[in-house]
Structure 1
Amino acid sequence: MKLDSAVVALLGLDADNTSVSSAGGAGMSSACTSKITTKQPNGENMTYFMKTGKGPEAEAMFEGEHQSLNAIHNAVPTLCPRSFGHGRLTDAPGKHYLVTDYLDLSGRLSSTKSAKGMSLAQKLAKLHTTPAPTPKGYDKPQFGFPATTCCGDTPQDNTFTSSWADFYANHRLRFIVHQSKKSNGADKQLEDLVEQTCTAVIPRLIGDDHLNNGKGITPVVIHGDLWSGNASVGKLPGMTEPEDVVFDSSACYAHSEFELGIMKMFGGFGGGFLDEYHQLVPKTEPVEEYADRVRLYELYHHLNHHALFGGGYRSGAVSIMRELVGKYGKGGRDEL
């Protein structure tokens, strides 16, 4: 298979000494993945990973993943591949590409430490203790992200916001219930519960004047879609032994505990993961509300899966919201 001339130019490759082969699935249904192998002047092979897809959906997804991977890689270089670029293919009109480091996967994460280097808990802790950069035009770090990112196939609104509570209410929960309405039709009970959660639970549980004894929280980069299928053991360029790594990111600048919502929803990170992680990243104050905050953050992913797939994810979302509104909503269970 011949490599598109746009990618040849991006990477500065010799097309006559470069080949392309299939690399399996790609997460989004319309995307294809490939392995690029090129022979360098010294005779050694170098490899890259490429995704390709059609239309504006692929263009937006690849731009978001490009910026996501590099935001994570810049903070913790051994945690994920770096992205070299994205854009339109020259020889295949209407198609787009993303090119990253090739990640040589060797196995799934396990509950026992088998990889070399820092553990996933240590790498994630480093990521979650690195303050987000200050966006151009702002005087301090913001919650959000400079590009639209996709969680699954859902494009997320990452408009910069100074308040974490406002960002989570408007750009995650209200946004995703609107997506669900477009996918599944109107659902008054679900919409009312989301609104109660946004107006009553969020200010009480993650309000800016409530977290950390009123000091608020610092935005940090999170992966954003860190279920166990997006974490593995493998080698990035420069690694001599496999290490814990992640991929297929949907990053944003957020509360570090937001990362833990989807990790709790699907599990698979081993019983000791959180113990090791929280030795390095203490739970946000008030600590006694930590489990409820993680449930609140897990809620977004139930709603997103309901928007994408319908079915049983609705009941999980409703259960979480009833529990939290009953505990933190004004008037408690009488409002349900």
Structure 2
Amino acid sequence: MTIDSAVAQLLSLDPKETTVSGSGGSSFSSTSKITTKLGDGNEKQFFMKTGSGKEASVMFEGEHASLSAIHNAVPTLCPQSYGHGTLADSPSKHFLVTDFLDLSGRRGSSTSSSAPSLAAKLAKLHSTPAPPPPGESSPKFGFPATTCCGETPQDNSFKSSWAEFYTENRLMFILKRSEKTNGPDEDLRSMIEKTCKKVVPRLIGDDHLNGGKGVTPVIVHGDLWSGNASAGKLPGMEAPEDIVFDSSACYAHSEFELGIMKMFGGFGGSFLKEYHELLPKTEPAEEYTDRVALYELYHHLNHHAMFGGGYKSGAMSIMRNLISRYGD
């Protein structure tokens, strides 16, 4: 397969020295491996996603921004993204190009004794303060691009308050998405509104966390379930290291990351022990488990918005428990 001229131009590749081969895919996109011979005779590989329509364009723009933010903070944690755009030969299709990731190992079993673990890399990521938005003097919660968690394009408009961002940009936002796809649901709306009004300020209010100091926005992957983490080699690596991909980033409370990690499992007690030795739990630490449950709630609601079915019961269970503890 020949390389599209828009991709070749983005990467400054010679089409005569470049081939494109299929490399699997997902429900959202098709994937390919680009192999090219450089001027010095060495071979280099890239990974490309393609998809159709405006949805793919939005998704790839967000993933490019996500990977770039993560890579800038911890270069060995994720593939570098080289750009996104529209295919010249198929103007209805869009693309994203990143480093090719050789998934040749099992997460946690790096053959490089000097390579940091996923817990260490994630702790470093979550210790890196977000940059201020353009024209602002201090960091804010949000992100400069729309990012997609699954197929959901998220509202990442900036907020100064973490509690406000989580209420408006995550819980109330995903309720509206759910009502659009599944129809009105008075019980679900009532529980989410009560959670936003009572539980959010009590558990993650800016005047409550860290003794009233609040939390600093940091970059989070945003969709870090076990299927988006593996071990592999990026360019320049001699041995596999723990890597993440398919990110849906935003600048958030670091513990927000742990919600989806808990929902789908795959990150055991030893991972969390190492992670929190490097990055202690937010105070009050005794409410940590409930904060993670509150953050897990968003992902149950997002899956309900995308797929319907039994995800509502998981969300309702979390809310009933949190409201019983913090709803008075």
TM-score range, shorter chain: over 0.9
Q: Is the 8 A contact 1:30 1:54 kept in 2?
A: no
Matches within 5 A, 1:1-336: 1-26=1-26, 29-110=27-108, 116=113, 117-330=115-328
- Determine the C-alpha separation between the residues in 2 that align with 1:216 and 1:269: 27
Offset of 1:104 from its aligned partner?
Answer: 0.6
Q: C-alpha distance in 1, partners of 2:111/2:185? A: 47
Displacement, 1:43? 1.8
Aligned length: 327
Percent identity over the alignment is 69
SS at match of 1:272: helix
Structure 2 distance, partners of 1:241, 1:210, is: 44
How far apart, in 1, do the equivalents of 2:225 and 2:216 lie? Answer: 23
User: Matched residues in 2 for 1:255 and 1:282: separation?
Assistant: 13
SS in 2 for 1:74: helix
> Please, which runs of 5 or more residues in structure 2 have no aligned partner?
none
Cα offset for 1:114? 5.3
**Post-superposition shift, 1:25?**
1.7
Deviations 1:220-275 (A, max 9, x none): 00000000000000000110100000000000000000000000011112330000
What is the rounded CA distance, in whole Å, between the counterparts of 1:113 and 1:329 in structure 2? Answer: 45
Distance (Å, rounded) in 1 between the aligned partners of 2:59 and 2:166: 21
- For structure 1, the 5+ residue unaligned runs are 331-336
- SS in structure 2 opposite 1:24? strand
Contact 2:111 2:239 in 1 (8 A): no
User: Which whole-Å CA distance do the structure 2 matches of 1:251 and 1:309 have between them?
Assistant: 22
Does the 8 A contact of 1:148 with 1:156 survive in 2?
Answer: yes
What is the DSSP-based 3-state SS (H/G/I as helix, E as strand, rest coil) of the residue aligned with 2:25? coil
Please, what TM-score do these two structures have when normalized by structure 1?
Answer: 0.96
**Shift in Å, 1:30:** 3.9
SS of corresponding position for 2:35: strand
Instruction: State the 4+ residue runs in structure 1 displaced beyond 6 angstroms.
Output: none
Q: TM-score under structure 2 normalisation?
A: 0.98
Q: Which amino acid aligns with 2:16?
A: D
How large is the Cα RMSD of the aligned pairs? 1.0
* TM-superposed deviation, 1:138: 1.2
